[in-house]
Amino acid sequence: MSRVHSFAPVADKKARALILGSMPGEASLKAGQYYAHPRNAFWSIVCRVLGARGELSYEARLRLLKAHGLALWDVLGSCVRPGSSDSAIQKSSIRVNEFAAFFRAHPGIRYVFFNGAKAEECYRKYALPALPAGCAALEYRRLPSTSPAHAALSPAQKYKLWKTIIIP
C-alpha cells in the first residue's frame, strides 16, 4: 500500500473559518481537487449555502469559499489508506498537517468546521494537543459528512446543518 498525501490549504488572509476534511478520497486525489467524487455533496451543499447559482468551475468554487472568508484543508497531511474509506486509514501511518503555522498565517480564523466525525476525531487526537493554547479557544463544530457513505441524513438535513458555515 502506498502513502497518500493531502492538498495544500485553500485560504487567504481574510479567512475567518476553516473547513476540515480528513483526507481526500481516491477520486479527489486522481483529479487533484477537493471533493471531486461526483456523489460527494460537499460542493452542492456549500455552493447552495453561499448563494451560488448553477454549475461553477473548480476554480470558481475556490474563489467563492475565499470570498466568504472560508478556508479549506484536511486534518491529515498523509497516511496509508487502501481505497477511500476513512475507516481504512492505518492509524500508525497518520501524519497531521502543520496547523500551528497555518493558524499563525491566518490569525483571523475563529471557527473550525469538521466535515464529519473522522475529521474531528483526528484533529482532536493528533493535531490539537500539539497546538498553542490559543487554538483551544477557537469555536469547533462537527457537521455531517458530505460523503456518499454517510447516508444517515438526507441532503436537505445536511444542507440545514451546513448553513452554520456562514460567518457574519
Residue 37 has pLDDT above 90, yes or no: yes
- The CATH number covering residue 137 comes to 3.40.470.10
pLDDT at residue 82 in the model: 76
The pTM assigned to this predicted structure is 0.94
Share of the chain above pLDDT 70, in %: 96
Phi-psi region of 69 (alpha: psi -120 to 50; beta: other; left: phi over 0): left
Q: Which residues are catalytic?
A: 40
Residue 35 has pLDDT above 90, yes or no: yes
pLDDT at residue 154 in the model: 86
Domain that holds residue 150: 3-165
More confident residue, 93 or 131: 131
pLDDT at residue 80 in the model: 85
The total number of structural domains in the chain stands at 1
pLDDT at residue 79 in the model: 86
Residue 121 phi/psi, 5-degree rounding, is: -60, -50
Burial of 39 (0-12, 13-18, 19+ CB in 10 A): exposed
Angstrom CA distances, 25 to 20, 54, 79, stand at 14, 25, 12
C-alpha cell at 142: 462537527
Share of the chain above pLDDT 90, in %: 72
